[in-house]
Structures are given as C-alpha cells and as structure tokens.
Structure 1
C-alpha cells in the first residue's frame, strides 16, 4: 500500500491570507498591519489548539477596544477560504483503485476547521486527516509527519507529501518521504502520476 498526503491551504483549498487579514482588520476597525502585529503572537497557540476561537476574539477585542462578536470574527476570518473543486475532485478520486491511501496534514485552527467541515465534505473520504490544532503539532515539526506515518502504518518510502511551503517539504523528506512543492496543479498532476508509475512498475517480490 502507498499513500499520498496533501497540505490543505493553497493545495486542496484556496486560501488568500491578505483577504483574511484585511477583512478581519476591518472587522476590528484597525489596519491590516496593526492586526498582523498583534496576531503574530496569537497565531502559534491558535494553530496548536491552545486558544479557542472565542478566546482569540476576546483577546483582539481587548487589544483594539472593539466589541466584535464571535460570529462576526468567524465570517471575516474565513473570508479568504474557498473551495478548489478541481483539486478536491482529483484528490478524492486517487484512492478509488484501492492501491492508494489519500490524506491531509494542515497547519490550521479551530475556526478554519469548522469552515472545512462545512464546505469540504471530501475530507471525510480521506484515510487520514491531521489538523494541527487537534494534535498540538505544527509543520514543519517532523513529529506531525511521524504521527501520520504511525497512523497509516506505511513506511515513509511509500508516502508522497505535497505542500506549497518548501520548509514543510524538506521536513517530510528528512523522514524519507517523497515530497515536492506544489506551485500549479498542471505540474503537480504530472508529478503525482510519475510517482504512481514509479512504484506500479516495480514487479512484486517473488
């Protein structure tokens, strides 16, 4: 058995960070730069699951003297997310033949996970989905990839990992996974198909 693991943001799902920052800043009545300065100290514990969405909203309200509701924060904070139907359909179809597990590993947070749960049902079809806030691990920490290998019970050499961040790709490679940086789906599909062909062409052991 082999496995292919995808990052989610800007691989399977479109994510516009600038749009998220701008919408959330407007919600609190501040500039994107002001929000970015404050959120820098919040994003890490939020991504590890150490802060709940309501706590993040409260922290930002106190910092900026605002009275934003959790619903308003959620809407603004998810404004940069959008489905990539082509990517999701392609990834979902990869596991049809029974020779390949498909999974995902994402640096994310509870607010974005709720959006994914509501808008990306394809993730329910995957063999494995690891959200950073649910396991208290963030890429590029090798432990998050080690956890994936343990849960899949597949050797690293039989796993392909795809991410849009080079440091995450390097971490996966350090454990023996095949891995490459996603830039464009036209290229990524060719790379995936070449990887599949590489192990499908190996004859079974006698």
Structure 2
C-alpha cells in the first residue's frame, strides 16, 4: 500500500527549458548552441551534484569560451528565474497530504536553484521532507540517493511511489522496489497519480 509520494522537481513540479532560456537571453541561435554544448551536458550534472559553485561554473565556462565572460556571468546570474513552478501540480502536494499521504521531494538540483525556489515558492517548506542532490554530492540515477531518502525518513520503498520525467531515474527507483510513474507530460500528473493510487 502506497503511503508516500515522492516528486522530482524538473518537468514534474516546475519547468526549466535550457534552450528556450538561452534563446530568450541571447537571441542568437549559434550562441545558444555554443552555450548549451558547454554548460547543459555533463557540466550541469556536476553542478546539480554540488561539485561546483556558481563562480566555479563561470570559470569552467571561461575555459571553453574565454571571450564570453559577460554573457556567462549573465547566464549564471539569471538562470534560476527561468525555473517556473507548475501550479496545478504544486497544488497536488497539499491535496494528497490532506488525504493522508506523506509527500517528499527527490531532485537533482544545484544549491542556487534550491535557494531560489525556497524564496519564491512554498512547496519546499510544504512537503514532509526532501533530498536535493547538491546536499549529498549524489545525483539520480545513483541508487544511493534513493537509499538516502529511505533511510533519512524511515520509509519502505514498497510503500512509496516515485514520479520523475527521466526513464533512467525511474528504472533505478524500480530496482529498489519503488512504485513509479514515468511522467512524459507534466499536464498528466494529476490523472496518472489518481490512476496509480487507484482512486475512484
């Protein structure tokens, strides 16, 4: 029986579209592709993991694009404001808490984004707990981050349903016995939760 609902943040509770954000910022497709290739690949996963600060990310970018200091600084200064909460999905947190479920977050998230979301939205304080990748220097799909959540809050995987937009993360959770929802379209969250929790 599911007692705990565990949400990812990206494309589940909030949207962040790097290419759209870069285009809005720079208005130059060539520059967008260049920045995307440098930042939004392995480097961003390491940022999520808490391996680099914002300042270190700037330096990493300058190693690849030494002539783009101003734009790199601008990007790193404003990117968090492009993480936008999906209100109808955020509303589900309290809806399910009122039904008696515990609600948690397990997200690959850099500290800068955590601080921004905590300042601009209520949901981080509304949930019953959470683990954010930068805190443990671990990122999904490493099973250790799932195990850390279970241990911290005394949860059993077979009493948890985990919702994420990335298949590899879903598969990692399933190896530990979590129920899962692979969310390919964030507008379907309410419907899929209802179906998976067998609500009439």
**Normalised TM-score (structure 1):** 0.82
Q: Which moved more, 1:12-21 or 1:163-172?
A: 12-21
Q: Which residue of the partner structure matches residue 169 of structure 1? A: 170
Q: Which residue of the partner structure matches residue 38 of structure 1? A: 38
Task: Spell out, residue by residue over 1:1-25, the C-alpha distance to the aligned partner (whole angstroms, 9 max, x if none).
Answer: 811001101100122121234356x
The alignment partner of 1:154 has SS state of coil
Counterpart-to-counterpart distance in 1, 2:102 and 2:77: 33
Q: Which residue of the partner structure matches residue 67 of structure 1? A: 69
The alignment partner of 2:69 has SS state of coil
Gaps of at least 5 residues in structure 2 are none
Counterpart-to-counterpart distance in 2, 1:93 and 1:142: 29
Q: In the superposition, relative to structure 1, how do residues 22 and 114 fare at CA in structure 2: closer, same or farther (>3 Å)?
A: farther
Gaps of at least 5 residues in structure 1 are 199-206
Task: Spell out, residue by residue over 1:67-122, the C-alpha distance to the aligned partner (whole angstroms, 9 max, x if none).
Answer: 3388733444235321211110122321124x311011111212222221122211
Aligned 8 A contact 1:20 1:79 in 2: no
Larger radius of gyration: 1
Q: In the superposition, relative to structure 1, how do residues 50 and 23 fare at CA in structure 2: closer, same or farther (>3 Å)?
A: farther
Counterpart-to-counterpart distance in 1, 2:121 and 2:62: 30
CA RMSD of aligned residues (A): 2.7
The 5 A counterparts of 1:1-206 are 2-23=3-24, 26=26, 31-39=31-39, 40-64=41-65, 65-68=67-70, 72-97=74-99, 99-185=100-186, 187-197=188-198
1:166 Cα deviation from its structure 2 partner = 1.1
Aligned 8 A contact 2:12 2:189 in 1: no
Counterpart-to-counterpart distance in 2, 1:130 and 1:15: 19
Aligned 8 A contact 1:11 1:164 in 2: yes
